[in-house]
Structure formats: structure tokens, C-alpha cells
Structure 1
């Protein structure tokens, strides 16, 4: 007769549970979610990224010309809150509708990438996040210059006295 200690029994129970409920035991993020126009979403679905979660919610959201900003924001928020999503791809047109939300988004996982839509090539302009980083660097440099010039002025006034 083979005796099992408590850890062996616990591991067996967990493995049985994970076989029956694979998405409910520490899911690792592995899906790509897409927010964009119909052509972009269909392209990614045909490439094999289309999935449904356990509540039959897809990992894509189609944004049309009449889709309001709030709906796009809700879709974005639902994707970044999902534990199985590793990357959120959003077309430039859809990203412009929720620019403020994207600017505030600071998480690393899921990563958010702005991609070109069906309307043509992506502009050479910097993406929103990179532009924001550059703006912060410029502000930091300006603040450093101000503080160093005030230090110099205070030093001059103390040495002249």
C-alpha cells in the first residue's frame, strides 16, 4: 500500500480541478485583444486571435464611424481588466476616441499598442504615449533649469553680502 502525504493529495486535487476548469486556476495572460474597425478585427480573427472567454465575450470590439467614445472606453476597460489578455491592440482611429484614457493607462500587462487601421498607413507622428514621455522629460528639464538658476541666484546673493 502506498502512502501519500498531504502535499501529494493537495497537488492531485488541484490538478484535477485545473483539468475540469482550466481558465479558473491562475490563468496566464496569453490573448491578444483588438479594438478597431471591422476590417482590422476580421483580419486578426482570421489570423487566429479570435477567442471567447467563459462568459462568451469575444476578445475583439468593432468600432464603426458611429460608435460613441464611451462604448470604446468600456471595451478597452473590459479588456485590460481581463486576466487572460496580454496585449490590447487598438487602431489609431479608435485610440483617438479614448486618448485621455490611454494617456492615464500605466499598466505593463496587458500592454497597449496603437496600430494603423484600414484608413491607410500609420502617420510618422509619435504615438500618444511616446509624445507624453517626451513632454514629461521636457518639463523635468525645465524644472531642473529653474531650480538650478534659483540656486545660482541665491548663491550670488549670499556671496555679495
Structure 2
């Protein structure tokens, strides 16, 4: 079977079986193992395009589970497919962590800027409070001076 071309039923893609029993089809990609999710063949395994459903590739071939060697090879291929999926998920999570870290850093910068603004506003309020006290004292002294002057002018 090594190096032999096989055509799938109901598909225009051709397959090449390599020595390690991975299925390589006409686009040069290795097929992945999938399971039928609904319909009459539910649970049956088949080889499919790794880019499906994002591509129009119609690569399809049933997994022959009658041969124990092919069954073991299928399990290896299934595990490799799962490993690839997990690696992809891990990469997606790492990318998301990087984006969230950048967002966190930006938010921390914004918080620090806001703290600085709050400190500046507190200082300004303290200065305003001092000015208000000074103006109040000046008003009190001006009224006292006015009363003294008024009393002095009347007598």
C-alpha cells in the first residue's frame, strides 16, 4: 500500500498513503480524522481536510477499522489530530493572554494618570481652601475696620 494512489468514493480528491500510514491527499496536506456527528453514519470515522469547513475541499475517505494495524494507526492519527487541536487552542489562549496583558498595562497607566490628577485636584482644593480662609479673614477684618471707622467718624 505504500506509495499507492487511492481514490475516494464520492470525492474528486486523490490520496497517497505514506510509510507511516498517514493519509496525504492531492493538496499535499495530511488528512485529519473526524467523526460523523449526525445522520445514519453517526459515530463513524473518516479522513477529512484539516481546513474544512473554511475551504471548499471535498476530500473524504472512510476510515477502515477492520484491520487492527489500521485501527492502531487511526488512533495515533486521532491523537495527533487532538494534539494539533490542543496546540492551536493553547496558541489562541497565549495570544489572548498577551492581548489582555497589554490591555491591563494600558489600564494601569490610565489608573496612575487618574491618581496623579486626583492628587493635583486635592492640592488645588487645599490651596482654594486656604484662599477661602484668607478671604474670610480679610472680610472679617474689613468689617471690623469699617465699624471702627464708623464709630470714630460718629464721635
Q: Report the TM-score when normalising by structure 2.
A: 0.36
Larger Rg computed on CA atoms: 2
Bigger relative contact order (CA 8 A; separation at least 6): 1
